[in-house]
Amino acid sequence: MFSKILIANRGEIACRVIKTARNMGIKTVAVYSSADEGALHVKMADEAVHIGPPPAAESYLVADRIIAAAKQTGAEAIHPGYGFLSENAGFAERLQKEGIVFIGPNTHAIRAMGDKIESKKLAAAAKVNTVPGFLGVIKDTDEAVRIASEIGYPVMLKASAGGGGKGMRIAWNETQVREGFPAAAAEAASSFGDDRVFIEKFVTDPRHIEIQVLADRQGNTLYLGERECSIQRRHQKVIEEAPSPFLDEETRRAMGEQAVALCKAVSYESAGTVEFIVDGNRNFYFLEMNTRLQVEHPVTELITGIDLVEQMIRIAAGETLKITQPDVKLNGWAIESRVYAEDPFRNFLPSIGRLTRYQPPQESSQGGVTLRNDTGVFEGAEISMFYDPMIAKLCTHGPTRDQAITAMSDALDAFHIRGIQHNVPFLAALIRHPRFVEGRLTTGFIAEEWPEGFHGADVLPETRRDLAALTAFIYLQQFQRARAISGQIKESYQKPQTHDWTVTLDGENYPVSAELAEGGCLVTFAGKKKPVRVITSWTPMQPVMRASVEGRRLTVQVDRQAGYCLLTHHGATLKAIMRSHRAAELFALMPEKIPPDLSKFLLCPMPGLLVSIAVEVGQTVMAGENLAVVEAMKMQNILRAESDGVVAAIRAKAGDSLAVDQVILEFE
């Protein structure tokens, strides 16, 4: 076994590998760019080596610097994590020549499966079901249009060396092919240094289900069940679960056996994932193979009890698998939510900045339910524009799918992040969506359920009343604290313990009578004789309130502002305030502030690099026309005209680094 390994990665996955290595008694070396000098993986590792400036192309993607760091520290092996150099056959080959072990598959398997065109040919030869499409190299946009027309719309444009949704587009017509092909090629070149794009038929109403495989160097190959990865946005997975609520045992076995056959065809070793697309009749087709550890590997670990990182290290050290296919048992249900630094209320645009508050729910395992949080950040850490915007992977495991969902919902309600925008409200709304709870999933789930974008979750009337009761308790607590301040006029101490107020939640009024009681308070709503009992130990210094209202459990985030509170629960944030009845009447007469008209400007929706501007001053543009392209966190975003107009001025130029809401164009 190795005594020291280097992790050629950053963030959450680097921390994840370090944890297992530490448990195995193996020392670790972290590498870091200038932007990551104070990062968590650097703090966790036994040693750390600086490898260059912030851009990945000048640090994490430079093989020479990674190898030099390994030699400098005496690391015998390198774990690549995912992304960066994890599926780079040239890097693995370099390590072999340098006498450093690559903790991953052999170079033949990486090359064979890393090229999506060649991998489909190999899959077909191994009698693995494949999707109809054109697997050759497409030279230009005109050829792409011709091929797409021959296959039949809709089609999928995919980067041959791609992954993580980059270099991928769905095209429903010729116009979208003409726009999507060059964009996909540009993203592919930027992310992977390979601009080849291929086209295949897009299967409608599809599910994305993948099989985890594990193979040693002695030829033993296993499949560890499946992961349901259908909840995606822009081809980027958002929530994954294991097992799939859709597969039966027969389909699971058939997919697993085909995955194993493909592995054997390329003499695969290490952990890997064979991805399939599955239609409504459980017909499945090979998509691609990822010759690395997947982001969503924790859900497989939770239902099998197998540490995949440990197995990768043991296989790389030459050990034989100690488990056989009959030993693999799927126990319970696991769900993973990817917590990203992105704004769901602004079409999920990336968000950067400092995590002024980062308090995830505490990891635990009790009552048959496990909560796990794989993260690479800490309170005070900086979310950089240079890398993937992932903050954490929140995982829950329970005996049943319903229990795993309930645990995830509670955990998301308690996940307290401030300083940047994040997608926790969206995840909280998604996990409780009736269609998700029922397991009726497709890769189009998010687009179908939120066609106009996410604008916050709906709050049921009974939940609103519970939140109104909690608001009354919050204000009673604040009033009690204020009464205890010394030096006040004597009469202020003699105010009655029962208060008649109007609670306002996002403009909706609830007249209440409230009084503190043992363990919480009693709140009586107007027109009701029986008070509701609030039980909680919350104090004003705590950001998360756990309470019971008439036996109904609620986890609510409380942000105290000047004159009001913001309550966040189940993906919705409500403005809450308690006033006297008279003050509420007068406030209702106040005029509403009208936001300024910004329709004559094209504003940058995210911090990023302005790649290009497609218009000139004086040009007439039509609604939907391409105006500019902004690149952020390795993704290219096309900004389109929302209405017809004439360009009056251009306020930025290609190559500029733009801030959120910075003006790019002005219209007449």
> Which stretches within 106-173 are classed as H helix?
107-114, 116-125, 141-151
Residue type at 124 in one-letter notation: A
Report DSSP state, residue 536: E
CA within 13 Å, CB half, 551? 0
Neighbour-count burial of 64, counting CB atoms closer than 10 A to its CB (0-12 exposed, 13-18 middle, 19+ buried): exposed
Tell me phi and psi for residue 169, to 5 degrees. Answer: -145, 145
Tell me phi and psi for residue 604, to 5 degrees. Answer: -70, 120
Task: List, edge to edge, every strand of the sheet that includes 663-667.
Answer: 601-603, 663-667, 645-650, 620-621
Residue type at 147 in one-letter notation: I
**CA–CA dist 19, 40 (Å, integer):** 12
Q: How far is CA 75 from CA 48, 52, 78, 105, 640, in A?
A: 12, 19, 7, 19, 49
Q: Which residues contact 100 (CB under 8 A, 6 or more apart)?
A: 67, 70, 71, 75, 76, 77, 78
Catalytic residue check, 462: no
Q: Nearest-CA neighbor of 327 among 311, 314, 346, 344?
A: 311
Q: How far is CA 417 from CA 335, 385, 405, in A?
A: 20, 18, 21
Contact 333, 242 (CB under 8 A): yes
The region that residue 595 occupies, defined by phi over 0 for left and psi between -120 and 50 for alpha, beta otherwise, is beta
Query: Which tokens is 667 given?
Result: 């219209």
Exactly one of 187, 288, 301, 336 is catalytic; name it.
Answer: 288
**CA–CA dist 301, 396 (Å, integer):** 11
3-state secondary structure of 279: coil
Q: Nearest-CA neighbor of 534 among 467, 482, 478?
A: 467
Tell me phi and psi for residue 62, to 5 degrees. Answer: -95, 100
Residue type at 654 in one-letter notation: A
Concatenate the DSSP letters of all residues of 490-518 into one string: GGGGG--SEEEEEEEETTEEEEEEEEEET
**CA–CA dist 29, 41 (Å, integer):** 9
**CA–CA dist 162, 212 (Å, integer):** 19
Q: Nearest-CA neighbor of 480 among 493, 491, 469?
A: 493
| Buried residues in 227-252 as b, exposed as e (16+ CB within 10 A) | bbbbbbbbbbbbbbbbbbbbbeeebb
Residues that are catalytic: 288
